[in-house]
């Protein structure tokens, strides 16, 4: 399964400024490619999601963790943080 999120304003922590009109290609639930500069990403049986006007932070997930007495609250959070 391939999904293409297109026309995003991409926030890339490595770049000095947001990148407009970017596309993120997701294959099998993982980011496979990030395209910029108007490169076409949709092909074949791709599911296309146009998010024009929205911002996208690829790879961002819930990275906060609640701490109780200096330890992770849940084992799942601790496993994810490794």
Q: What is the phi/psi pair of residue 3, to 5°?
A: -125, 135
Write out pLDDT tens, residues 5-44: 999 999 987 888 999 999 999 999 889 999 988 777 666 7
The percentage of residues in the chain with a pLDDT greater than 70, rounded to a whole number, is 68
pTM of the predicted model, to two decimals? 0.67
Q: How far apart are CA 69 and CA 5, in angstroms?
A: 41
Cβ pair 32, 46 in contact under 8 A: no
Long-range contacts of 13-20 (CB under 8 A, 24+ apart): 18/55
Identify the pLDDT of residue 58. 78
Identify the pLDDT of residue 51. 93
Report the alpha-carbon angle 25-28-31, nearest 5.
Answer: 35
Residue among 4, 2, 7, 3 at smallest CA distance from 51: 7
pLDDT mean over 42-60: 85
Domains and CATH numbers, the chain: 2-81 (2.30.40.10)
């Amino acid at each position: 399964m391939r999904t293409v999120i297109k026309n995003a304003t991409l926030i890339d922590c490595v770049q000095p400024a947001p990148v407009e009109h970017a596309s993120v290609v997701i294959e099998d639930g993982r980011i496979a490619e990030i395209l910029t500069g108007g490169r076409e990403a949709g092909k074949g049986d791709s599911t296309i999601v146009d998010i024009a006007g929205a911002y996208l932070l690829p790879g961002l997930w819930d990275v906060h963790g609640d701490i109780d007495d200096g330890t992770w609250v849940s084992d799942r959070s601790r496993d994810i943080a490794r």
